[in-house]
Amino acid sequence: MDFRYKVILSFLIFSILPATILNSQDQAHNPVIWADVPDMSMVRVGDTYYMTSTTMHMSPGVPIMKSRDLVNWEIVNYAYDILDNVDALNLENGKNAYGRGSWASCIRYHDGTFYVSTFSQTTNKTYIYLTKNIEKGPWKVHSFSPALHDHTLFFDDDGRVYMIYGNRRLTLVELNADLSGIKAGGVNQVIIEDSSIPSGSGSGLGEGSQLFKINDKFYLFNITWPKGSMRTVVVHRADRITGPWEGKMVLQDKGVAQGGLIDTPDGRWFAYLFRDYGSVGRIPYLVPVKWENDWPVLGIDGKVPDILELPASRGLIPGIVASDEFKRRKGEPPLPPVWQWNHNPDNSLWSVIERKGWLRLKTGRVDTLFLMARNTLTQRTFGPVCSGSTCLDVSGMKEGDFAGLALLQRKFGQVGVKYENGAKYVVMVNAQSGKPVEIERVPLMGKKVYLKAECDFRNLADVAWFYYSTDGKTWKSIGNQLKMEYTMPHFMGYRFGLFNYATRSPGGYADFDWFRVSKEIIQ
d(CA 128, CA 148) in angstroms, rounded, equals 11
Nearest of 479, 409, 423 to residue 56 by alpha carbon:
409
Say which CATH class 340-518 falls into. Answer: mainly beta
Fold (topology level) of 40-245:
Tachylectin-2; Chain A (2.115.10)
pTM of the model: 0.93
- pLDDT value, residue 25: 75
Residue 415 CA to residue 10 CA, distance in Å, equals 56
Where does CATH 2.115.10.20 sit in the chain? 40-245
Q: What's the Cα-to-Cα distance from 130 to each of 148, 337, 489, rounded to whole Å?
A: 18, 19, 30
What pLDDT, on a 0 to 100 scale, did the predictor assign at position 203?
Answer: 85
State residue 21's pLDDT score. Answer: 39
Q: Give SS3 for 27.
A: strand
pLDDT at 302: 96
- Distance (Å, whole) CA 191 – CA 173: 10
CA–CA distance, 207 with 274 (Å, rounded to integer): 14
CA distance 410 to 408: 7
Nearest to 336 by CA among 348, 321, 350: 321
C-alpha distance across the termini of the chain, in Å: 51
Residue pair 140/197 in contact by the 8 Å Cβ criterion: no
Length of the chain: 523
Single-letter code of the amino acid located at 338: V
DSSP reduced 3-state for 300: strand
pLDDT of 23 reads: 55
Q: Are 107 and 41 in contact (CB under 8 A)?
A: yes
3 state SS of 117: strand
**Domain limits, CATH 2.60.120.200, in the chain:** 340-518
Radius of gyration of the chain (CA): 25
Q: Residue 215: helix, strand or coil by DSSP?
A: coil
Strands 401-408 vs 495-502: parallel, antiparallel or unpaired = antiparallel
CA–CA dist 324, 125 (Å, integer): 35
Contacts of 291 (CB under 8 A, 6+ apart): 269, 297
Q: What is the pLDDT of residue 14?
A: 36
Digits of tens for pLDDT over the chain (523 positions)?
Answer: 443 444 333 333 333 333 333 356 789 999 999 999 999 999 999 999 999 999 999 999 999 999 999 999 999 999 999 999 999 999 999 999 999 999 999 999 999 999 999 999 999 999 999 999 999 999 999 999 999 999 999 999 999 999 999 999 999 999 999 999 999 999 999 999 999 999 987 888 999 999 999 999 999 999 999 999 999 999 999 999 999 999 999 999 999 999 999 999 999 999 999 999 999 999 999 999 999 999 999 999 999 999 999 999 999 999 999 999 999 999 999 999 999 999 999 999 999 999 999 999 999 999 999 999 999 999 999 999 999 999 999 999 999 999 999 999 999 999 999 999 999 999 999 999 999 999 999 999 999 999 999 999 999 999 999 999 999 999 999 999 999 999 999 999 999 999 999 999 999 999 999 999 999 998 7
CB atoms within 10 A of CB 468: 25
Give the Å distances, CA to CA, from 298 to 136, 198, 211.
35, 15, 16
Which has the closest alpha carbon to 118: 61, 203, 185?
Answer: 61
Q: How many CB atoms lie within 10 A of CB 214?
A: 14
**Burial of residue 255 (number of CB atoms within 10 Å: 0-12, 13-18, 19+):** middle
Helix (H, G, I), strand (E, B) or coil at 29: strand
